[in-house]
Chain A
Amino acid sequence: MTASRYLLRRIAQIVPAAVVIVVINFFLLRLAPGDMADVMAGQSGSASPEFLAQLRQQFGTDQPLAVQFAHYASRLAHLDLGYSFRYSQPVLHLIMQRVLASAALMLSSLALALTIGCALGTVAALSKKRGIDMLLSTVSMLGFATPLFWVGLMLIVVFSVKLGWLPSGGMHTLGIEQSGLSAFTDVIRHMLLPVLCLTLYYVAIYARLTRSSVLEVNRLDFVRTARAKGASRSAIVFRHILPNALLSIVTMTALQFGALFSGSIAIETVFAWPGLGLLALDAVTTRDLNLLLGILFVSSLFVLIVNLLTDLLYARLDPRIEVQS
């Protein structure tokens, strides 16, 4: 199969998944009790039935479900995610405002965790001493059992309340005008605790994954051949084992992107980090369905595209894939 046909085939697989996600989320959310009109009317103190009806007419929620869905689908086809009446802004605009903050948090933690996790996992897998392996397994088991948001709160107690070294939340120090380098270091200072928290968790995942992946590759014939011909230990690890072991780690990372975003919802709440997770939670509590649907759609689409890109990358790195498909 040629590369372009493979690409087309993979894209063709994405479309139905995206459609199913849109349909499930749209109809599920319309079943939710209470709509935005209720929430808005409740906040304004009192509301007459006429006012509620007027709000619903404005939001389009007074129409039959099928009509609403048709409207939604046709707008979505033009990449219009709708309008958030809550924020009085287009949903896409709101998402774009927050996406950078989330990405900064997730990608820096991911980069740190992949580096540390791969190193730890490789050492544990290849170490002759069983103690190191046991230690890593124990640490990653403890990591898996710890509630991430709770670690965040405890980090705040230690580093913000007791030691006073780092801010406890937000993205900028309030009340001070900053620019250039000082503004940048201010953001970094605010990032340290949430990044530390997410990194601890991801390291537990990737150390374990790398360990089993390296052990698997280590048993293969070509590694034995490399040893037999007298290749140095570092050459075996860096030229033969790691490139092959990393393939499966890359796939897992892509597959877990949705899970990573889930983790950041709790962390963004704990540290009041103005990212997509916090926006999603806000959309839930205020019943801003357009916004919630938009976030669900964009984050799912993002995972789909990341997976597509890894598949393509994978097919390039490992020629056996194309033959199989």
Chain B
Amino acid sequence: MSSLTGAFRRTRRGAILQRMPRGISLWAGMLMLLAVIVGALAAGHYSDDPLAMVAAPFQWPGQDAAFPLGTDMMGRDLAAGLLAGARVSLVIGLEAGIAAAVFGLIVGAVSGYFGGWIDDVLMRLAEVFQIMPSLLFTIVVVIVLQPSINSIVAGIAVTSWPQVARLVRAEALRLRHAEFVQASIVIGMRPWRIVLSHIVPNTLSPAVVMTSILAGNAILTEAVLTFLGLGDPNVVSWGSMIGAGRDALRSAWYMTAIPGAAIFFTVLALNLLGNGLNDLLNPRERENG
């Protein structure tokens, strides 16, 4: 008995050691994301109003110890904006990622399991959203619903669910012929219960991986929208900071560089996390990368 568990432990440890280079991806992603979350939580403590003009304008980072990242052309503290922006980015990334993943999961599972005309209609619909230029359609949704965090989330989710739906549908098609699903049909389980209790749980892991990638993409899209001036003007976000800093690009490029670096850091964290989760949840796909 003891030799058996010993052997088990050895192989387990062997497997984990083998995965180490990829495991780094998961840990690095989690640590980086944690740093962003801490920043977002600290936003309220650091400054009451990131839009307040608190100091002399055009101060470079490090010029005044009270404002470590400098001030913009209106004398607003860039560090306060950066922390407030972290909160906005995380909320939008998380909400849009989850909304797209949940909707895509349901559509994909239904489409793959039922097949036939249901599959045809749903997949053609998914195609329509993939054919339209996604950013332009997101912009249309945002102006129709009025610019706000919620409308940006809706606009991004509407254009990104088809990716999840396609992925989940392929899995569901395969699962439909699995023995345990066939067995459920034989014992007279209702189709909806089969979808919810067998298909959805078994397609969950690719959807989870996708959520983290989609959250990263959502943060990038939000940054583009607010950079273009299509966000809520009363909310500070990294994209709007870049948009404001752009006017002073020639003399004070740090105003643009700093929020951009924050976007890069956060999206990289989410992508690393997605990669790491993929290795953890779908070990079969490892060699395909």
Which residues in A have some Cβ–Cβ distance to B below 8 Å?
A: 13, 16-17, 20-21, 24-25, 28-29, 31-33, 134, 137, 141-142, 144-150, 153-154, 156-157, 161, 208, 211-212, 215-216, 255, 258-259, 261-263, 265-266, 269, 280-281, 284-285, 292, 295-296, 299-300, 303-304, 307
Q: Given A153-B246, A154-B257, does the pair A21, B139 have CB atoms closer than 8 Å?
A: no
- A118 → B minimal CB distance (Å): 16
Tell which of A25, A134, A147 touches B223, judged by Cβ atoms closer than 8 Å: A147
Q: Given A141-B271, A141-B275, A153-B256, does the pair A147, B136 have CB atoms closer than 8 Å?
A: no
- Are A266's CB and B135's CB within 8 A? yes
- Are A145's CB and B223's CB within 8 A? no
The interface size of chain B toward A, counting residues with CB under 8 Å, comes to: 45
- B100 → A minimal CB distance (Å): 15
Chain B residues with Cβ under 8 A from A33's Cβ? 143-144, 146
- Are B289's CB and A265's CB within 8 A? no
Tell which of B230, B271, B287 touches A215, judged by Cβ atoms closer than 8 Å: B287
Q: Which 4 A-B pairs have the closest CB atoms?
A: A262-B135, A150-B260, A145-B268, A145-B267
B132 close to chain A: CB less than 8 A = yes
- Are B136's CB and A259's CB within 8 A? no
Chain A residues with Cβ under 8 A from B260's Cβ? 147, 150, 153-154
- Are A32's CB and B263's CB within 8 A? no
Q: Given A31-B144, A161-B249, does the pair A299, B133 have CB atoms closer than 8 Å?
A: yes
Chain B residues with Cβ under 8 A from A284's Cβ? 139-140, 143, 230
- Ordered by A's residue number, 13 sampled pairs between the chains whose C-beta atoms are within 8 Å are A16-B124, A28-B141, A33-B143, A141-B272, A149-B224, A149-B227, A157-B257, A161-B250, A258-B131, A261-B136, A303-B133, A304-B131, A307-B131
Chain A residues with Cβ under 8 A from B287's Cβ? 215
- A126 → B minimal CB distance (Å): 14
- Are A28's CB and B224's CB within 8 A? no
- B239 → A minimal CB distance (Å): 8
B288 close to chain A: CB less than 8 A = yes
- B129 → A minimal CB distance (Å): 9
B38 close to chain A: CB less than 8 A = no
Chain B residues with Cβ under 8 A from A141's Cβ? 268, 271-272, 275
